Amino acid sequence: HVQLVQSGAEVKKPGASVKVSCKASGYTFTNYYLHWVRQAPGQGLEWMGIINPSGGGVSYVEKFQGRVTLTLDTSTSTVYMELTSLKFEDTAMYYCARDGASTVATIAGPYDWGQGTLVTVSS
């Protein structure tokens, strides 16, 4: 069955960078987009961006442009989300999620979710 296993919790200082991994298994990695979504404590869901594992094409929300980078390692079926110049307000749970469409010709939205990675920005 589909599994998305994310790396463990991180504590970072303002201005630092964090890189969260998401290892996929149970399906053909290159057939499905992967999304990143974050949720600040007590707040709603915020879609951050998406990566095409077949080719590496990405799309980011404008507010994160220049600070977020999605990359992948197809040899290990792993996607990485790096966020730089961290601010206190970046404290959140970060989720990766597999798209529902079994082809990268379309986007269906997040269907299967990882367990989340808590990133805390604290001085």
Partner 1 sequence: DIQMTQSPSSLSASVGDRVTITCRASQSIRTYLNWYQQKPGKAPNLLIYAASSLQSGVPSRFSGSGSGTDFTLTISSLQPEDFATYYCQHTYTPPLTFGGGTKVDIK
- Pull the structure tokens for residue 14: 């303002």
Q: How many residues does the chain have?
A: 123
9-17, 24-32, 37-45, 72-80 -> range binding partner 1 (CB under 8 A)? 37-45
- Say how far residue 89 (Cα) sits from the centre of its chain: 17
- Say if residues 122 and 11 touch (Cβ distance below 8 Å): yes
Under rule CB under 8 A, residue 111 binds partner 1: yes
Least distance (Å) from partner 1 to the CB of residue 1? 12
19-27, 38-46, 73-81, 82-90 -> range binding partner 1 (CB under 8 A)? 38-46
Judge residue 78's burial from the number of C-beta atoms within 10 Å of its C-beta, 0-12 exposed, 13-18 middle, 19 or more buried: buried
- Alpha-carbon distance of 9 to 121, in angstroms, equals 11
Residues 56-95 that bind partner 1 (CB under 8 A): 59, 61-62, 95
Helices and strands (DSSP H and E) totals, the chain: 0, 11
Under rule CB under 8 A, residue 110 binds partner 1: yes
* Contact track, partner 1, 14-33, x by CB under 8 A: --------------------
- In the complex, which residues of this chain contact partner 1 (CB under 8 A)? 35, 37, 44-47, 49-50, 59, 61-62, 95, 97, 100, 107-111, 113-116
